[in-house]
Structures are given as structure tokens and as C-alpha cells.
Amino acid sequence: MQPSGAWALKPLVDMTPAEFYDWQTLLEERTGVVISEQRQAFLQTNLSARMRELGVADYASYYRQVTDGPRGAVEWSILLDRLTVQETRFFRHRPSFQVLEHYLGERLARAEVGEQPWALWSVGCSSGEEPYSLAISAAEVLRDSERPAHFGVTGTDISLNALSKARAGQYGARKLEQMDIELCERYFDAQSDGRFKVVPSLAARVCCARLNVLELAKAPMSGMDVIFCQNLLIYFRRWRRREILNRLAERLAPGGLLVVGVGEVIGWQHPELEPVADERVLAFTRKG
Ligand SMILES: C[S@@+](CC[C@H](N)C(=O)[O-])C[C@H]1O[C@@H](n2cnc3c(N)ncnc32)[C@H](O)[C@@H]1O
């Protein structure tokens, strides 16, 4: 028998084409994320790393483990974080946030007494930078108004790990480097460990929940004023991107704003939506 240290370093063999197909299909069926053949090495490396941790020697045994009922579900949620990209930043695509702030400014100018608080939604919110950026934009627009808390942001993601980071709302100093210093001071509290925590008044306006975007039919969201869906659909097949955008469009309130990542869908149209006339962004408003 080999010592365990040597075993841990032993490279796993290449997947067979059938194994690659099984893993690729499992990931796509469960998340929509497509791993192309060019990214087989990425899949192998990440599966192998997890298999080593568990002491599982071959892909087929691990596949059975991951697909084995409730126990498999726990393992799947761990694996998911290794196979999906969760990279994100505050105010990641500035022009999209500029369009949002302009839109909210106009909404505020037209606001009527008794209007419902604005409902904003970050689809594929990762560790929270996007929903908190949406919240900061809304808070800034409303800051000098009579109703500074007239909004709520929902962040949804498939990853429980990402969601727990989003709920914690604590970020290292480097995460805030690109942000306007005034916004940092207004919306984050410095912690004794050098990290920064979202201030309670802003955190209270943001809620994060698990939602697989392939299961939008189960989502209770409706009448949303703003939906941001950025850097999620790029990992999906084109027909699925359109399908999801059609479902998101149905969740928008009349006059609501849908913002998608630039280039993430080409030539998509919806009879109820009008494109925002700004070539820096891919955004639509719902008629009415
Ligand atoms: C690259 S991050 C994008 C984060 C943020 N929207 C941004 O633009 O910075 C993609 C996120 O989508 C999530 N994701 C992947 N598949 C998903 C699915 N089927 N349903 C919901 N979220 C999913 C991942 O967990 C990840 O957090």
C-alpha cells in the first residue's frame, strides 16, 4: 500500500469521453453551465482536487456519490463552487450602474404618494457585491429625498457558499479599492480585523436567497422594478439565455428596467420590452 501523502500527489488519469459527457451533462442539466471540450482540463483538475480530499480514486465512483440522493446533494453543493465562476466586483460594469441611477432618478422625479418601495433583483448575485452595489445606487438616488429607504434588493444565486458570504456582507479592503471613497465611508464600517462590513441600514434593505435560474417558475418575484442579470448567462447555451431572459421579462413591472451583461445575448427581443438607447449597455425597459 502507498503512503497517503504519495497517493494525494498522484495525478488522476484523463477522463474517458463517456465520463466527460456524463459530468458535462450533469452540470448543464442542474445549472445550465456548459463546459466545452476545450475546458475538459478545468473540469478534471477541479474534480480531482475534490476527489483527493475525499479519497475517491475514480471519476465514475465520484459521479455515483454526487448523484446519490440527499447525501449526494450535500456533496453536489460543495462541488458546485469548484465548477462555477463566482468572480464579481462592486459596480462591475459602471455604465450599467450609471443607466440604473439615471433611471431611478427619473422614477423619483415622477414618484407618487403611496407608491410601493422599489424592488431590485440581482440574478446570480455571487458573494453580494452586485446586490450591495444596486442598494448603494438606490440609496444614493434617494439620499436627500423624503423616503431614503424606499427600496429593497433581492440577491439570488445557486451557490449556498456564495450566499453566505453575501449575507455576511464583509469584504477585504482590496474589494473596495475601486469604489468612490465617499461611498466606502458612507456604506461600510471598518472592522478591527481590517475588513469592511456593510452598514446595518443598507444591509437591512438587502436579502439573499437560493434560486436556481433554471427554476424561475418557482421564484416568487414579480412586479420587479429593476432586474440585473450580468455575467451568468455567458456560461449558458444561446437558446437557454433567451429562454431565461423571456422569463425575467415577465417578472418586470410595467416601466421596469432589465439590465443584462453587454454581449451576453445577441439579437434578443421581447414584444413587451424596449431597448435602452445607450450603446454602452444592454438594457431594456418594459412598456407601460
Ligand atoms: C460570475 S458570477 C456573476 C456575479 C455578478 N452577477 C456579477 O456580474 O459580478 C456568476 C454567478 O452565477 C451563479 N450561478 C451559476 N449557475 C447558476 C444558476 N443555474 N442559477 C443561479 N445562479 C447561478 C454562480 O454561483 C455565480 O455566483
Side-chain half-sphere of 84: how many Cα atoms within 13 Å?
31
Question: From the CA atom positions of the chain, what is the Rg in Å?
Answer: 21
- Structural domains of the chain ordered from first start: 4-83 (1.10.155.10), 94-286 (3.40.50.150)
CA of 126 to the centre of ligand 1 (A): 6
Alpha-carbon gap, residue 252 to 19, rounded angstroms = 41
| Of residues 281, 280, 222, 274, the one with CA closest to residue 248 | 222
Residue of higher predicted confidence among 89 and 70: 89
Q: Tell me which residues have their CB closer than 6 angstroms to ligand 1.
A: 31-33, 84-88, 92, 124, 126, 130, 157-159, 162, 212-214, 230-232
- 32 CA closest ligand 1 atom index: 19
The overall pTM is greater than 0.75: yes
> What's residue 2's pLDDT?
45
Grid cell locating 195: 475588513
Grid cell locating 194: 481590517
> What's residue 81's pLDDT?
94
Q: What is the overall mean pLDDT for the chain?
A: 94
Mean pLDDT of 274-279: 97
Residue 10 has pLDDT above 50, yes or no: yes
> Could you read off the pLDDT of 48-72 as tens digits, one per residue?
999 999 999 899 999 999 999 888 9
Mutate to test the pocket of ligand 1, among 26, 81, 158 (most ligand atoms within 8 A of CB): 158
> What's residue 13's pLDDT?
79
Residue type, 176: L
CA of 4 to the centre of ligand 1 (A): 36
* 3 state SS for 161-228: HHHHHHHHCEECHHHHCCCCHHHHHHHEEECCCCCEEECHHHHCCEEEEECCHHHHHHCCCCCEEEEE
Provide, for the chain, the percentages of residues in helix, strand and coil under a 3-state DSSP scheme, each rounded to the nearest 5.
Answer: 50, 15, 35
